[in-house]
Each structure stands twice: as C-alpha cells, then as structure tokens.
C-alpha cells in the first residue's frame, strides 16, 4: 500500500500560499483498486484525516493516513497500514513521522524525528524476521531545508498555487522515504473535468515520478487529479509500479 501514498504527492513550478486548503477535522475516504488478472478489483479503503493536537509547548496538526483491505480480502492478503505526521500548522514543517506497516506476514515500523536547525532526521527502523524476532536500526540522515516526509508532502501539495502554473511546468524537490532523500518530480499536464463520487469536478492533472528509482514505472503512467478549487482535494489517481497497476478513487469528503 505504500505506492498509494507515494502517488498522492507533489506539484509543479508554483509558489506557496497561506495554509487555507484544509483544516483540523477534515476526513477524506478513498477506494483503492488493483489490477488482478486484467480486471481492476476494489481491495481496500484508504483514509486521510487531520486533527489538532495540543502539547505542553505548542499546538500541532496531526496528519493521519490509513489503508485497510476489505474483509473479504483479509484471508488472501491482509493490510493494516498507518502513516502519520505531526507538523507546524502554518508552515507544515514536520516534527515527527511514523509509518506502521502490517501486510500479510510482513511488519515494518519507521519513525523520523526532525531537527530542522541541524538539518538532520533521526531515523528508527524495525522489521520482523521470519522467526518472529525483530531487527532494529538507528541512524541519522542529512536533509535539505525543504525536505518533508511523505504524508506532509501530500498536504503541502494542496497549499500550492497551481492556478498560476502553465501546462508543462514541473518541479523537483526532496522527500525522505526509506531512510534517504528521494527527488520527486511533478509535472502539470492539463485541466480535466471528471465524474467522481462527490460530483463532477474540474481538476488539475499531474504526473509524478521519482528520480533514479524504479518504484514508479513509466513516463506519465502515475497520475493524480486534484480539484481545481481552494480545497485541491485528491479525487483520483492511477499508478503503475513494478508489481502491477491500480487506481485510487474518492469515496467521501467531510470537514472541508
């Protein structure tokens, strides 16, 4: 399911506007489908939620993404994935990122603690071995000024002034994933009106790729549609990866 979150990411040569595309209490729900024997089959529900969290020193925005296979597929390949980030509500700079992956017999946990002053991320990774024991790794990763985690990037995208971009504009910027910086490029392809579960929507159509990586396959094969309004809701996505292809479709959107 990591490919679903990689796909809902980033955008072209654009400036950042003030944070007004979303607020605490927003809840987006999607249906994820995968190409099985030539047929797109609905296999999971993906949710994106925002909440306000108060600490002793500040108020943070909690960004949470989950993926869960429908019960009829649990016996075949059970997925319970959680991605979450705690960020500055104005700049969206991340402070803490967690990734908890449960897919079949595979388990992986990742935690990033950001130090923007020293431009480092303290990375913790845990994996479950076949015998049930755990392997653990701690390391420090150097980052750039504008490096974000995957979840934060999804929401960062929605605050960009896409309406100022021209068709063909693109931008590359860093995202930390799997304990290293990856350069992600997003290209603005066109405006397109599509039918969705929340109505007919005029959308920005974007193509996404990762430099020097075989993770996302093909030129303009990984596409994202964001509503062409102030909310910039991700309503539709198509992805192609090494193990196949699939789609993500909006099911509901509340708390906009």
Side-chain half-sphere of 131: how many Cα atoms within 13 Å? 3
240 neighbors 216 (Cβ within 8 angstroms): yes
**C-alpha span between 115 and 209 (Å, rounded):** 27
Side-chain half-sphere of 43: how many Cα atoms within 13 Å? 20
The pLDDT value recorded for residue 213 is: 53
* Domains, the chain, with CATH or none: 2-254 (2.40.360)
The pLDDT value recorded for residue 121 is: 96
**C-alpha span between 256 and 245 (Å, rounded):** 30
**C-alpha span between 97 and 180 (Å, rounded):** 14
The total of other beta-carbon atoms located within 10 Å of residue 108's CB is: 17
206 neighbors 12 (Cβ within 8 angstroms): yes
Sequence-distant (≥ 6) Cβ neighbours of residue 226 within 8 angstroms? 11, 157, 158, 162, 203, 204, 206, 232, 233, 234, 235
Query: DSSP of the chain, one letter per residue?
Result: -HHHHHHS---SS--B--S-S--TT-EEEEEEEEEETTEEEEEEEEEEEEEEEE-SS-EEEEEEEEEEE-HHHHHHH-EEEEEEEEE-TTT--EEEEEEEEEETTEEEEEEEEEETTTTEEEEEEEEE-TTS-EEEEEEEEE--TT-EEHHHHHHHHHTB-GGG--TT-EEEEEEEETTEEEEEEEEEEEEEEEEETTEEEEEEEEEEEETT-SSB-STT-SEEEEESSSS--EEEEEEEETTEEEEEEEEEEE--
**C-alpha span between 47 and 56 (Å, rounded):** 28
The pLDDT value recorded for residue 19 is: 56
CA 154 to chain centre: 5
How many residues in total does the chain contain? 256
Its pTM stands at 0.86
**C-alpha span between 185 and 120 (Å, rounded):** 22
Q: 151-199, pLDDT tens digit by residue?
A: 998 898 888 788 899 999 988 888 898 888 888 888 899 999 999 999 9
The pLDDT value recorded for residue 39 is: 85
The pLDDT value recorded for residue 103 is: 92
Those residues of the chain that have pLDDT short of 50 are 1-18, 217
2 neighbors 213 (Cβ within 8 angstroms): no
């Amino acid at each position: 399911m990591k490919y679903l979150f990689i796909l809902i990411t980033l955008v072209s040569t654009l400036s950042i506007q003030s944070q007004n595309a979303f607020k605490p209490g927003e809840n987006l729900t999607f249906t994820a489908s995968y190409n099985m024997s030539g047929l797109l089959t609905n296999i999971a529900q993906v949710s994106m939620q925002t909440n306000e969290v108060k600490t002793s020193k500040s108020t943070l925005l909690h960004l949470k993404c989950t993926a869960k296979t429908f019960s009829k597929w649990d016996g075949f390949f059970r997925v319970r994935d959680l991605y979450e980030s705690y960020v500055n509500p104005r700049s969206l700079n991340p402070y803490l990122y967690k990734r908890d992956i449960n897919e079949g017999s595979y388990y992986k946990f990742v935690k990033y603690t950001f130090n923007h002053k020293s431009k480092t991320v303290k990375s913790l990774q845990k994996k479950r071995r076949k015998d049930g024991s755990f392997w653990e790794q701690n390391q420090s990763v150097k980052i750039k000024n504008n490096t974000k985690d995957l979840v934060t990037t999804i929401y960062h995208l929605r605050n960009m002034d896409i309406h100022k971009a021209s068709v063909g504009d693109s931008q590359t910027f860093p995202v930390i994933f799997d304990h290293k910086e990856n350069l992600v490029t997003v290209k603005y392809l066109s405006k397109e009106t599509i039918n969705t579960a929340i109505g007919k929507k005029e959308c920005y159509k974007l193509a996404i790729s990762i430099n020097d990586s075989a993770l996302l396959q093909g030129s303009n094969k990984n596409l994202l549609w964001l509503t062409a309004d102030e909310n910039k809701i991700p309503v539709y996505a198509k992805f192609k990866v090494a193990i196949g292809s699939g789609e993500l479709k909006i099911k509901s959107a509340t708390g906009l």
